[in-house]
């Protein structure tokens, strides 16, 4: 595709801190290359603001290559913007055209309070992971791989679930602010493998209990989470989590 430059209007959520009342501010950026990433466009805007003696916009980012899950922007009403299977840092400006107005907000969910501008506190996810606990492993030398055969189909499913980067887009996209897709991915990646088997029941029960304690909403099967997930985590993981949870409640093994 031909490279082009564009002038854009940005409506960005500004909020001093968690308790302050936020609101949209309007900014103009000029000569933005279609080759830039969305975050690079924000770098240009922030440099412009600093040069004008104004406060830059706070936003989260780390890897800028779709791995860390930090870049939590709600762009034109969509978590991580218009491209499917893409994080905000991987979104490129060729998704937009000259003269566009782009609205950027932080994730909206009670369990993810806004810290400042576009940054939110996602430590609720860390606490859910902590509640899941450790897996039991034998000490000493690593076991020979052939001693622990894993069915290829299950290995693939576990790998796909492990692709979850904990970004929180599923929560932001869900009208109930449900964290079921995230929790189901984390439960599935271990429940499917022999290494995760010993604690699978307590893990499912404890992670779901923590999820509820953090104030995430219930799943009503709208599928918005799967549609907006940058790692395309499947809804089938939610069905597996429900089976794991019910099975653990009845004390069954599998
Ligand atoms: S399930 Fe998808 S949207 Fe939710 S935290 Fe994981 S990667 Fe992000
Ligand atoms: S900055 Fe790491 S996933 Fe976007």
Q: Could you give the domains of the chain?
A: 5-116 (3.10.20.30), 122-136+150-252 (1.10.1060.10)
- Low-confidence stretches of the chain (pLDDT beneath 50): 253-254
Note the maximum CA span of the chain: 64
Mean pLDDT of the chain: 95
pLDDT at position 63 is: 98
CA of 90 to the centre of ligand 2 (A): 8
Find the ligand nearest to 72 CA. Answer: 2
Please report the pLDDT score of residue 144 as a whole number: 82
pLDDT value, residue 253: 46
Residue 70 CB less than 6 A away from ligand 2:
yes
pLDDT at site 6? 98
Residue reference for tokens 């599998």: 254
Atom of ligand 1 nearest to the CA of 79: 3
C-beta of 61 in contact with ligand 2 (< 6 A): yes
**Residue 254: per-residue pLDDT:** 44
Q: Residue 62, class by beta-carbon neighbours within 10 Å (0-12 exposed, 13-18 middle, 19+ buried)?
A: exposed
- Angle among Cα 212, 108, 73 to the nearest 5 degrees reads 125
Tell me if 66 CB under 6 Å of ligand 2: yes
- How far does the centroid of ligand 1 lie from the alpha carbon of residue 17, in Å? 25
pLDDT given for residue 251 in this prediction: 61
Give the residue, by CA position, lying nearest to ligand 2 atom 3: 66
State the first-to-last Cα distance of the chain, in angstroms, to the nearest integer: 51
Where in the chain does DSSP place strands (E)? 5-14, 23-33, 74-75, 78-79, 101-105, 114-116, 119-120
Dihedral over Cα of 109, 113, 119, 125: its sign: negative
CB under 6 Å to ligand 1: residues? 164-170, 181-182, 185, 229-231, 233
Which-ligand-closest: CA of 184? 1
- Ligand 1: atom nearest CA of 228 is 3
Tokens standing for residue 102? 């782009």
**Cα of 164 to ligand 1 centre, how many Å?**
5
Backbone angles phi, psi at 154, to 5 degrees: -70, -40
* CA 39 to centroid of ligand 2, rounded, Å: 10
Q: Is 37 in the pocket of ligand 2 (CB under 6 A)?
A: no
Ligand number nearest to the C-alpha of 71: 2
Closest ligand by atom to 69 CA: 2
Asked if 166 and 182 count as a contact pair (C-beta separation under 8 A), the reply is yes
pLDDT, tens digit (0-9, with 9 covering 90-100), for 160-216: 999 999 999 999 999 999 999 999 999 999 999 998 999 999 999 999 999 999 999
């Amino acid at each position: 595709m031909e490279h082009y430059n564009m002038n854009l209007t940005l409506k960005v959520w500004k909020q001093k801190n968690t308790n302050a009342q936020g609101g949209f501010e309007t900014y103009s950026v000029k000569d933005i290359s279609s080759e830039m990433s969305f975050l690079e466009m924000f770098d240009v805007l922030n440099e412009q603001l600093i040069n004008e003696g104004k406060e830059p916009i706070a936003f989260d980012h780390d890897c800028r290559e779709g791995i860390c899950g930090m870049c939590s922007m709600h762009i034109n009403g969509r978590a991580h913007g218009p491209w499917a299977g893409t994080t905000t840092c991987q979104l490129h400006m060729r998704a937009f055209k000259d003269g566009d107005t782009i609205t950027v907000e932080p994730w909206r969910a009670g369990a993810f309070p806004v810290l400042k501008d576009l940054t939110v506190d996602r430590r609720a996810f860390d606490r859910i992971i902590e509640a899941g606990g450790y897996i039991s492993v034998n000490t000493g030398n690593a076991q020979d791989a052939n001693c622990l055969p894993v069915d290829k189909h299950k290995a693939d499913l576990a790998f796909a679930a492990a692709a979850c980067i904990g970004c929180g887009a599923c929560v932001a996209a869900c009208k109930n602010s449900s964290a079921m897709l995230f929790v189901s991915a984390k439960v599935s990646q271990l429940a499917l493998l022999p290494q995760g088997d010993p604690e699978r029941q307590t893990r499912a029960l404890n992670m779901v209990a923590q999820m509820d304690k953090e104030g995430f909403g219930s799943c009503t099967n709208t599928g918005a989470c799967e549609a907006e997930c940058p790692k395309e985590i499947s809804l089938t993981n939610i069905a597996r989590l429900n089976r794991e949870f019910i099975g653990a409640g009845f004390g069954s093994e599998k």
